[in-house]
Structure 1
Amino acid sequence: MKGSWKRGGRSFLFLLFLFILWEVLVRITQTPMWLLPAPSDVFKEAMIGFDNFYGHLLSTIYLAMLGLFIGCSIGLIISIILYRLPKVNEVLYPLLILSQNIPTIVLAPLLIIWFGFGILPKLIIISLVCFFPIVIASMDGFRQTAPELKHYMQMVGARRNQIFWKLEFPHALPSLFSGLKIAATYSVMGTVISEWLGAKSGIGVYMTLAQSSFRIDRVFVAIFFIMLLSLLLFGLIRFIEKMVVKGRKEAV
């Protein structure tokens, strides 16, 4: 725990140094705000314009959390099906890989044409971004279960379902949480991309309006909050992981 705080402190100091360097360079070169604002200008805009930004922030948080939940749930279900049914795995696994080679920026307009400008196409985009890390991480976790433990359970008469739910699934939890942390960081960016292509509110909408009016300080406000949301979601998943995995180890 002490080591984690120490590493976090070093990262914070380095980040602070980068902001100070950025501030100094902008002031020395007298770079105009519409080209590159100083961190102090970005912070000032975040404080002054937060009332206007607040609604967009809530909209993005809601959409990201909902899309993350749906995408991770679908990913976990798919991973279980593929692991438990090898023949289905042979057919669907290549298709899952191909689905990740379709650029989101190309797929999003088609989803809007097919499903309109409601919440459904946005959730599909976020789910497509989030489910694949869950599938890969979960299946790797299932496969890495110690063979001698599986053999022991078979010797004592455990059925296939019992082996999976009592041994393989708990053993895969660390890998599952690794996938969840990746998906959590992707979910925010997937949400912003979906908002770019048609939404009434959200950080993506706020960023688009800021770009069109050359308010680069507001663009950086949006970027910083995207990074902050990604870090917070990552930290939340990591906290849950420590509680669940620690509790499982203590129970064992």
Structure 2
Amino acid sequence: MPDAPSARAGWRVAHRLLRSGLVCAVILAAWQGAVVVLDLPPFILPSPRRVAAAFLAHSDFLMRNAAITALEIVLGLMTGTGLGVVTALAASGIPAAGRVVLPVMVASQALPVFAIAPLLVIWLGYGIASKVVMATLIIYFPIASAFLDGLRRTDPGLLDLAVISDAGRLRTLALIRIPAALPGLASGLRVAAAVAPIGAVVGEWVGASAGLGFVMLQSNARMQTDMVFAALLMLGATAVLIRTAVEAATRRLVHWIDETSP
């Protein structure tokens, strides 16, 4: 017989899947109802059946472009995480660096992504590089700010204990401050995973030859609204998969914290 924790975990997964299925069913019913009641033409709002037909007819094409967008998101997530962690460590350990870096971090979020994207395409071309940089810029601030906040909120008692034990700065950082800041980093990663698709898709809208953003742009120009919706659904599914993978990884990262979900 399965143990109690495994049974509870299985029940939570089943309950979450059932709840998600019910939400999707309600959304689809409301969508179909709006199409029928308002008698909307397909180029304004296609029915779920039309979108499903478009997806099945072009599934290979959509899958290939979804893989490109997913690669851009994952590479941007990895790059942004690395830069954010390094920035937080530098700002926390070197006060002068913090005074220089923090205004740059805030300014990077004040600039609208649509203003930056054309410049990145000009500088880096229509390939994957400009999209990865866009995704990196989007997630850099959540990672850096969350990890830096965690580093600054280390329990003072633990820091006093490190001083009494004559631990150096590097040992204190590695054994006390970084582990104490990991829950903050985990929260930043989860936020970053949710917003990273924005950077990749905006970059594809500005200039690309592949990706779900490119598919949406081209389909919209041809009034193929069913394909636009199919690409949007693929993007949503891709984002959910990446977010789920990041959430599973962060649970392992902060395994000592008991996280409960409703």
TM-score, reference length from structure 2:
0.89
Shift of 1:78: 0.8
Shift of 1:14: 2.5
Q: Any residues of structure 2 matched to 1:26-175 within 5 Å, and which?
A: 26-175=35-184
Shift of 1:4: 6.1
Cα distance between partner residues in 1 of 2:92 and 2:133:
24
Cα shift readout 1:86-114 (whole Å, capped 9, x = no counterpart): 11111220121011111111111112223
Partner amino acid for 2:158? L
Structure 1 match to 2:231: 222
Could you tell me whether the CA contact under 8 Å between 2:66 and 2:238 is conserved in 1?
Answer: no
Partner amino acid for 1:159? G
Partner amino acid for 1:18? I
Q: Single out whichever of 215-224 and 24-33 deviates more from structure 2.
A: 24-33
TM-score, reference length from structure 1:
0.92
Shift of 1:115: 2.9
Percent of aligned positions with the same letter in both sequences? 29
Moved over 6 A (4+): none
Partner amino acid for 1:213? R
Cα shift readout 1:56-85 (whole Å, capped 9, x = no counterpart): 111111111111111111111111111111
Cα distance between partner residues in 1 of 2:139 and 2:197:
10
Could you tell me whether the CA contact under 8 Å between 2:55 and 2:227 is conserved in 1?
Answer: yes
In the alignment, does 2:28 pair up with 1:19? yes
Could you tell me whether the CA contact under 8 Å between 1:189 and 1:226 is conserved in 2?
Answer: no
User: Is the partner of 1:100 in helix, strand or coil?
Assistant: helix
Shift of 1:35: 0.6
**Which structure 2 segments of 5+ residues have no match?**
1-8
Cα distance between partner residues in 2 of 1:9 and 1:139:
38
Cα-Cα RMSD: 1.8
